[in-house]
């Protein structure tokens, strides 16, 4: 279990209790944060895009080539930041306790 702070598109903040063993995308989608996760975590939709708090960028496993390619693909539609990640590629475990993410604009 990890508590993840989520900043919504309207600037609202909420702390989500997220169970270990899944992907952050699932918890964000189920909490109606605006994350859709249309492709189910297959890295082909980009609807799970979040901005990770800068203090967390180096604490998460690095992006894979496929994740980077998907982010690049949606970069024509939404603003990318150095902190952009696909939340379907963030595994939930105790190590992400206190992670803060902002929901990116819809693609
Ligand atoms: S859920 Fe589709 S890219 Fe993450």
Residue spans of the domains in the chain: they are 2-103
User: Which residues in the chain show pLDDT less than 50?
Assistant: none
- The CA 13 to ligand 1 mean position distance, Å, reads 22
For residue 89, the ligand 1 atom closest to its alpha carbon is: 4
CA distance 83 to 32: 22
Q: Could you tell me the CA-to-CA distances from 82 to 14, 24, 56, 79 in Å, in that order?
A: 23, 19, 12, 10
Looking at residue 56, what is its pLDDT?
98
Q: Phi and psi for 105 in degrees, rounded to 5?
A: -60, 155
Topology at the third CATH level for domain 2-103: Ubiquitin-like (UB roll) (3.10.20)
């Amino acid at each position: 279990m990890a508590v993840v702070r989520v900043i919504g598109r309207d600037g609202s903040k909420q702390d989500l209790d997220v169970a270990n063993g899944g992907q952050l995308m699932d918890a964000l989608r189920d909490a109606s944060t605006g994350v859709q996760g249309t492709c189910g975590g297959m890295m082909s939709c980009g609807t799970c895009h979040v901005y990770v708090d800068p203090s967390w960028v180096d604490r998460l496993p690095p992006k894979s080539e496929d994740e980077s390619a998907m982010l690049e693909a949606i970069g024509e539609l939404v603003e990318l930041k150095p902190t952009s990640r696909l939340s379907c590629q963030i595994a939930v475990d105790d190590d992400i306790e206190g992670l803060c993410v902002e929901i990116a604009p819809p693609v």
